[in-house]
Copies of this chain bind each other. A is one copy, B any other.
Amino acid sequence: MSVRSALLSILTLGPCYGLQLAGEFERRTGGAEPLRDAQVYTTLDRLERDGAVRALAKDDSGRVRYELTREGRREAERWLASPVAAEASGARDELALKLTLAATLPGADLAGVMAAQREAARAALEALAGAEPDDALDRVVLARRRTALEAELDWLDEASRILAHVSPFPLAPPPKRGRKARHAE
């Protein structure tokens, strides 16, 4: 819901049209996360469907502007005020997933997986170090990535220590049940 909420909160400043929202999004987020034009429009459609915004008559230039409804304003305020739930963002932690699987699957190359991940994080950190931020917003976004990558490296070390004592294990034998193999197809 990030994009949806971001567009809503920009609209608290006043009515905007589609590409204007895309532009403001870029200006106000350090340009870190490119937003596809198409997504602005689909998101606006969905916001209108949900009663959070309302389309105004086309302006002098034929652009369609949207304004917040009371509902939409409330949603925007709620979003800004509430903290981002740790990893409740619907995104599974793919890295932890991959590492625990690599540790428990016989035949998987745990050391190799860890080495690859460490190397990727190290390279990403190096690339970040060489980046010149344009402005303060950029600095904040870069700092976010840097701290996340550093944490990833720390965690990899810790995980390495913990997993040193873990052995992979095979599939658990499935419980036997009645032998009623329905001859379906």
Determine how close the nearest CB of chain B comes to the CB of A68; give it in whole angstroms. Answer: 13
A residues adjacent to B (C-beta < 8 A): 2-3, 5-6, 9-10, 12-14, 16-17, 20, 23-24, 27-30, 32-33, 58-63, 79-87, 89-109, 112-113, 116-117, 119-121, 124, 136-137, 139-141, 143-145, 147-152, 154-155, 158-159, 162-163, 165-166, 170-172, 174, 176-182, 184
Partner of A6, one of B101, B139, B143, B150: B101
Tell me which residues across on chain B come within 8 A of A94, comparing CB atoms: 2, 84, 89
Contact B13 A171 (CB under 8 A): yes
Tell me which residues across on chain B come within 8 A of A166, comparing CB atoms: 136-137
User: How many copies of the polypeptide does the oligomer hold?
Assistant: 2
Tell me which residues across on chain B come within 8 A of A174, comparing CB atoms: 17, 20, 61, 63
Contact B62 A14 (CB under 8 A): no
Contact B151 A147 (CB under 8 A): yes
Tell me which residues across on chain B come within 8 A of A96, comparing CB atoms: 29-30, 32, 140-141, 144
Contact B158 A61 (CB under 8 A): no
A147 to B164, CA, bound (A): 19
Contact B61 A100 (CB under 8 A): no
